Structure 1
Amino acid sequence: MSGSQTHGPSRYEVPDDAPTHSCPYCNRPFRTERLRKLHVGLDHPESIDDDERDTFQEAYLAENDEIGLFRLKVLAVLVLIYFSFLFVYLAVN
């Protein structure tokens, strides 16, 4: 990558033209604001104020909802695959 920037204690390769959302406490870059909010709440809980804690909780709950929906979709696909194999087995025998 042509433009690398050093952020915080670790080195992150970030293209010069890439939009980033940096952590105000460790300057780590993130691709989205939601990821930055989650990072701040998980890695710097002692440093955040009430507003940041509220935005972290909202992002965390939204993330949990997305994970729950993903799990339901995976379960539905597994059930579909299971019954597909079962019907194929019954048709062949």
Structure 2
Amino acid sequence: MEEVILKSKFFKAQKARDKEENEQLMEELDKSFTSLVQSRVLQSLTEPGKLNALKALVNTGAPNEHVKKDQLSVNQTGGISKQVHWT
């Protein structure tokens, strides 16, 4: 009987540790999401005039025979700019 009680206490403590860890991870995710929403990168991607920039960023990994050279750089304000030179 004592063994059952010890196992129960162990699993209860483990569950409490897991819950605390999950809460900390959720707080970190919330902070990251808040900073992402406030960033200029997301704002530039959600503006209607910037749709081509979004498409270019999405297609960065796919080869394209029309693209001669493309450069992706992060500016000092945290924004991403992409320059594509067409052939």
For normalisation by structure 1, the TM-score amounts to: 0.43
Larger Rg: 2
Bigger strand fraction: 2
For normalisation by structure 2, the TM-score amounts to: 0.45
RCO higher in structure (CA 8 A, sep ≥6): 2
